[in-house]
Structure 1
Amino acid sequence: MNKVKTLEFKDGSLIFLDQRKIPSQVSFFKCKGYRDVEYAIKDMVVRGAPAIGVAGAYGMVLAAREYNHLPKEEFIKAIMKSADVLGNARPTAVNLMWAISRMKKVINENINHSNDKIYDALLKEAKTIEDEDIQTNRSMAKYGNTIVPNGATILTHCNAGALATVDYGTALGVIREAHYSGKNIKVYADETRPRLQGAKLTCWELIQEGISTTLIPDTVSAV
């Protein structure tokens, strides 16, 4: 089954599979504070709108942890500032602003509670956003698989897999599901210039799953 998980919140830190190093190296990038998450988003340690959204949510959790010692008013201001910093890390990622808005709503709903309670509420919401992403992808994969014929040949562009989400993927999730159901599919993956997400990420993901994959230049996609 799926061997790729993009991020994990563990022991008070957010750990990313470092996508800058794939496919030559599998390594991890550990974020202990929200500024680390900001850097990870900006430098494409993590990429893909769904994954970035979840990263932003956990970034606010780390901010709440970092500023927990402050008096309530300063604590709230500091977290709200962190939300702006994280949002500006990738303004074009719609999921990032969506997730941050959800986290801000949680703060406002718990404004009269203690710093610890606010932290707990933020952590719970971030986990909910993460779980929703996984469930959405898996549901999409099941629906998508119903229209994939046996022996299908599928062309991909860029990376819409587990690496772009938390787990499983969107378009590649459908491909995974078809593979798991024994449909004997074959994939042609565009290299996806200029950053080569198809060559570096999509091919790597599919090979991890044992899915027949051929890398092709973008210029021969229509051949």
Structure 2
Amino acid sequence: MIPTLYWEDDVVMILDQRKLPGKTVFMPCRDMRRVIYCIQTLATRGAPAIGVAAAMGLALAARSIRIKNKDLFMERFAEKVEVMRAARPTAVNLSWACDRILNLVAKSDLDIEGIKALIKDESQRMLDEDIEINRAMGKNGAAVVPDPAVIITHCNAGSLATGGYGTALGVVRAAHEAGKKVSVIADETRPLLQGARLTAWEMVQEGIPVKVAVDSSSGVLMSREMVDICVVGADRIAKNGDAANKIGTFNLALQAQRHNVPFYVAAPLSTVDLDTPTGEAIPIEERDPAEVTHIGGRLLAPPEADALNFAFDVTPNDLITGIITEVGVLKAPYIESLSRAKAGLISKE
């Protein structure tokens, strides 16, 4: 698996996913503003990867503060944390990472230079943890995948969306590694084609059979019994189990319900936000309409036409068969199972 992001000395190297699958280019980030640029322009994307990138960006931010008074340093650093927190609204892992770093710093009795080193070390720890969590999630999810199985997914929830291995595609990988005969249908995922560009690319690299399908074909595919199971990722899961993911996921879930195809969400517990009661409270990012009216810089629609470009939608919990996490496959009622899992009352499987 190609790394999504990593430290190279004191520089954060971020894989520019906008150029895949044509080119493999890493962007060097020497300050927090550059990391935020990568997050906002989708050079790096996917909730877990955004969380790790945020932590690394905060390490760069701390290093840039040239204040010798610790109280003033802490005040300035807290301001930078809030700038990072505002980079993208829907993916809760970004706020989760900001809070984790901020809490760590607040509890530290180290001097300023020690705190700067502490933040960088913690960001690396978060990257390593994410890969370990994804592998555990994949193993848990592989247990619900039939053998053989055609798995349909939406957007990209693979190693590219995480520190490594992946969430939804981590389940696919784990099933494949367990010897199950699996293949993937990747929704193309308009308007930015993360399924066609990224998911298909990852599966080709892994030697797992993959076919790209237009987003609107899920109904005919399921009606012809060409799909055995749906597995998608999530950018935020509310306390009641409603799950926000890339726009088009809700439509896929509705087709799965209509055709009795199991629909699973794979996400780490860090993506579960118990402070968000239902999906209605999840902020939904709206992006540049030009992403809809243009492809590769070429205008497709009449120049006078505007466009709607919601980046995410919310799948209601009653359409979700189970939520695959690092501690197991959680079932409804989600308000109970998610709360117990977040509280550490469900042991790792």
Distance across 1 between alignment mates of 2:194 and 2:50: 16
2:33 alignment counterpart: 35
Is 1:129 the counterpart of 2:126 in the alignment? yes
Is 1:182 the counterpart of 2:183 in the alignment? no
What letter is aligned with 1:126? S
Distance across 1 between alignment mates of 2:142 and 2:57: 34
Is 1:118 the counterpart of 2:102 in the alignment? no
Contact 1:68 1:115 (8 Å CA) reproduced: no
**How far did 1:68 drift?**
4.7
Distance across 1 between alignment mates of 2:96 and 2:46: 14
2:234 alignment counterpart: none
Is 1:204 the counterpart of 2:228 in the alignment? no
Larger deviation, residues 149-158 vs 164-173: 149-158
Question: What's the C-alpha RMSD, in Å, of the aligned pairs?
Answer: 1.4
Q: Structure 2: where are the runs of 5+ without partners?
A: 221-349
Distance across 1 between alignment mates of 2:92 and 2:68: 31
2:142 alignment counterpart: 145
**Where in structure 2 are the equivalents of 1:10-159 lying within 5 Å?**
10-68=8-66, 70-110=68-108, 112-159=109-156
**How far did 1:185 drift?**
1.1
Distance across 2 between alignment mates of 1:65 and 1:208: 37
Q: Structure 1: where are the runs of 5+ without partners?
A: none
Mark the structure with the bigger radius of gyration.
Answer: 2
What letter is aligned with 1:34? M
C-alpha deviations, 1:25-64, integer Å up to 9, x for none?
1111111111111111111111011110111111111111
C-alpha deviations, 1:165-200, integer Å up to 9, x for none?
110000100101112222221111110111111111
Distance across 2 between alignment mates of 1:140 and 1:24: 30
Q: Sequence identity, in percent? A: 46
**How far did 1:143 drift?**
1.0
User: Secondary structure in 1 aligned to 2:45?
Assistant: coil
2:252 alignment counterpart: none
What letter is aligned with 1:172? L
Contact 1:158 1:197 (8 Å CA) reproduced: yes
Q: TM-score, normalised by structure 2?
A: 0.61
Q: Which has the higher contact order (CA 8 A, sep 6+)?
A: 1
User: Secondary structure in 1 aligned to 2:19?
Assistant: coil
What letter is aligned with 2:44? V
* Moved >6 Å (runs of 4+): none
User: Secondary structure in 2 aligned to 1:41?
Assistant: helix
**What is the number of residues matched between the two proteins?**
220
Distance across 2 between alignment mates of 1:74 and 1:11: 27
Q: TM-score, normalised by structure 1?
A: 0.94
Distance across 2 between alignment mates of 1:68 and 1:133: 31
Distance across 2 between alignment mates of 1:45 and 1:71: 36
